[in-house]
Structures are given as structure tokens and as C-alpha cells.
Amino acid sequence: MAAKLPKPPKGPPKGPKMIIGWREWVALPALGVARIKAKVDTGARSSALHAWDITEFSRGGARWVRFDVHPVQRADRPSVTCEAAVIDRRGVTNTSGRAEERYVIETDLDFAHIRWPIEITLAKRDEMGFRMLLGRTALRGRAVVDPGRSFLAGLPGSASMVAARKR
């Protein structure tokens, strides 16, 4: 009989935090997004992903959404079609200060060879420079931001990401 593995601790890890820049490369593997440039925004509570053609549907009695993502800045190709369970629909104040209602999903963030679940709101970010905004809730207890630096963690899956984890 196999021994039971201990459950991982809840919440962010204890110990030293990684140092990250104001923009970083991240991956959303469960959504099929291998790499997307994210703006780290400690002024934003929630994370946001540029999504378009959002369609709600039902799967097994649960609410799901299907949407498309353009992971490359200022480009509409490639396009990745994603599906995720809806965990909420909540009001969010956008960058312009206007309240809007957005779908909220939970998916794994792969960053600096570490993977953890985060909540992401789905938003039209056409006019924004970054297709993803990484808010403070996703990073709480895990990272310290150096606002004068960028891409300290390297590309997802790269050797430089291992060094970022040790910082």
C-alpha cells in the first residue's frame, strides 16, 4: 500500500521572495498559453487577461466560458482558443475608472519554474499595451517588485527562470 503524501500548505510559501521586474514573461499552461508578456501592477488587486469572443456555456451543470486570447502584444496572430470554468462574475473598476462586470476564472500561473493557481478576470484590453496584467493578489507573499527592471525571470521554461527562483 502506497504511503499518503502530505498535503501542500495553503497560501503563499514562507521564506525568501523572488525579485521580479515591472514586466515579466509568464505562462498559463491549462489555457494553452505557453508565453505571454505580463505587466506587473501592484496597484491592481486582480489579474486580467485580454480575451475576446467570450461565450458562456454549460458543462456538467457548471458555468464555463470559451474565449480567444492573442498572446502577442499588438498582434492578432497567433490566436489561442481557451475554455475555463467560471468561478464568479464580479464588478471591477477598469483602468479608466469605469465599473464593469467581468467573468472570473481560476487557472495555473507558471512563473519562474513555479506553478500556482490564480484568479484572472477576462477583459477587452485591445487599447492596452499588455495582454495580461498581473495583480497584487496573485503575487502576494511570493514576490517583491523592482520597478526599474524587466524580465528578471526570463522566458517560461528557460534556464534563467531557475536563477530567478533562487534570488
Q: What is the CATH number of the domain that holds 84?
A: 2.40.70.10
Instruction: Judge whether 134 lies within some domain.
Output: yes
Beta strands at 143-146 and 18-21: parallel, antiparallel or unpaired = parallel
| Residue 8 belongs to a domain | no
> Where is pLDDT greater, at 166 or 74?
74
**pTM for this entry:** 0.82
Q: Which domain holds residue 90?
A: 18-166
Quick check: 126 pLDDT over 70?
no
Residue with cell 498582434: 75
In a domain, 104, yes or no: yes
**Residue 9 falls within a domain, yes or no?**
no
Q: 90 or 161: whose pLDDT is higher?
A: 90
Structural domain includes residue 4? no
In a domain, 52, yes or no: yes
Which pLDDT band, with edges at 50, 70 and 90, does 161 fall under? very low
Q: State the Cα–Cα distance between residues 157 and 64, nearest whole angstrom.
A: 29
Q: What does the block give as the cell for 11?
A: 497560501
The cell for 23 is 514586466
Return left, alpha or beta for 17; rule: phi > 0 is left, psi -120 to 50 is alpha, else beta: beta
Inside any domain, residue 145: yes
The most confident of 7-21, 51-65, 84-98, by mean pLDDT: 51-65
For position 3, what pLDDT does the model report? 56
Range in 5-9, 30-34, 82-86, 101-105 with the lowest mean pLDDT:
5-9
Task: With respect to residue 1, please indicate whether it lies within any of the assigned structural domains.
Answer: no
Helix (H, G, I), strand (E, B) or coil at 29: helix
DSSP state for residue 101 in the 8-state scheme? E
Q: Which tops the pLDDT comparison, 110 or 113?
A: 110
Number of domains in the chain: 1
How far apart are alpha carbons 130 and 74 in whole angstroms? Answer: 8
Q: Are 160 and 149 spatial neighbours (Cβ–Cβ below 8 Å)? A: no
